[in-house]
Amino acid sequence: MKGRADVPEALVDGGLMPGSTGFFEPPWFYEEAVGAARLGIRVQARLHEETSACQKITIYDTTFFGKVLTLDDVVMLTERDEFVYHEMLVHVPLCSVDEPGEILIIGGGDCGCLREVLRHPCVKRVVQVDIDERVTRVCGEHFAWVRRVEADPRAELRFEDGAAYVGRQAGAFDVVIVDSTDPKGPGVGLFTRGFYAEVARSLKPGGVMVAQTESPHWDPAMVAAIFGEIRGAFGRVSAYQAPVPTYPSGHWTFCYASADRSPGDFLDEERALGVARGCRYYNPLVHKASFALPNFFIEVLRGENPFQEFDARHRLGPGAEST
């Protein structure tokens, strides 16, 4: 966000690449990424649209993806493939901590992560802090899981800035899950070193933070900047990945960070197998394999841009002849 000295240039206003934008040209909803690629989703009906104090909230009913939630015209979840993202963002950290009882979700207003967290019997309390209550209320009207998980006595839903909330929670949580929008608007505050330092302080000894960390295919500089910020706050930082078809490039990444725990240190195989029986993506082998990274992503994590030469040859820059 312009003017925030604590935000690396690669994260300002959504990054060096043009941020994702979307528009509805009936019967299609299009999300455009990096100013050069579009995902088209055929719409049956636009079921809801409003502008809250934070963002534009839209729900579409679509022919192939079921219902789709967009925020500021960017796809947040589709009923068809949200299971990949929510299962991997939740079960990887929760199954790698022994008996996690206290969980914090920052963002996650669609309650997909909350649904998956509550499937762990050892969870005693889960606090979900989303800055925009309207996201949860609108999703409660359209996605069957929301009302069910909200009613769970272990769940506490709060509606405030997650960065402010976590700063008041020293040593409170076993796992913190950052399920944020992209680094723009209110979301940018969830990608800074200062925020990650507060998250680190909010964890109990052996605690783990995971966060969604965007696409290394289409915006390597943003991913490198995010991991750079996280490394400033945590001693052990790893990356894992999963395919999310309706996110830009379809190759999505996550960060696994801790003061003193690495992903391979512990896996509660029995609990992972139990929770996997209700999953469509997650299982213990997928858990382990998700940390096996392709070479280009390893280069990105080293702060290099594996596409630099390619982009120099192919990207339409100022003055380049566009076909």
- 90 Cβ neighbours under 8 A, 6+ residues apart: 113, 116, 117, 177
- C-beta of 43 vs 146, nearer to ligand SAM: 146
Binders of ligand SAM among 29-58, rule CB under 6 A? 54
Q: Are 166 and 136 spatial neighbours (Cβ–Cβ below 8 Å)? A: no
- Separation CA 48–CA 29 (nearest Å): 14
Select the span of 117-125, 155-163, 197-205, 222-230 touching ligand SAM (CB under 6 A).
Answer: 155-163
- Separation CA 225–CA 204 (nearest Å): 26
Q: Does 108 bind ligand SAM (CB under 6 A)?
A: yes
Nearest distance from C-beta of residue 235 to ligand SAM, angstroms = 25
The CA distances from residue 36 to 20, 222, 249, 297, in Å, are 10, 17, 11, 21
- C-beta of 162 vs 216, nearer to ligand SAM: 162
Q: Does 212 bind ligand SAM (CB under 6 A)?
A: yes
Q: Which of 110, 130, 179, 182 is catalytic?
A: 179
Selected binder of ligand SAM within 34, 104, 129, 223 (CB under 6 A): 129
Nearest distance from C-beta of residue 73 to ligand SAM, angstroms = 12
3-class SS at 210?
Answer: strand
Sheet containing 21-25, strands listed edge to edge, beginning at the edge strand earlier in sequence? 21-25, 28-33, 37-51, 56-62, 66-71, 74-78
Q: Does 187 bind ligand SAM (CB under 6 A)?
A: yes
Q: Which of 144, 128, 260, 134 is nearest to 207 (CA)?
A: 260
Q: Which of 30, 35, 1 is nearest to 18 (CA)?
A: 35
Select the span of 12-20, 69-77, 116-124, 167-175 touching ligand SAM (CB under 6 A).
Answer: 69-77
Q: Does 237 bind ligand SAM (CB under 6 A)?
A: no
- Cα dihedral 118, 124, 130, 136 in deg (nearest 10): 40
- Separation CA 247–CA 33 (nearest Å): 9
Selected binder of ligand SAM within 62, 70, 128, 180 (CB under 6 A): 180
Whether residue 174 lies in the annotated active site: no
- C-beta of 257 vs 284, nearer to ligand SAM: 257
Q: Does 68 bind ligand SAM (CB under 6 A)?
A: no
Binders of ligand SAM among 78-107, rule CB under 6 A? 85, 106-107
- Separation CA 139–CA 146 (nearest Å): 7
Q: Can you give the binding site for ligand SAM, defined by CB under 6 A?
A: 54, 71, 76-77, 85, 106-110, 129-132, 135, 161-163, 179-181, 186-187, 189-190, 212
Residues assigned a catalytic role: 179
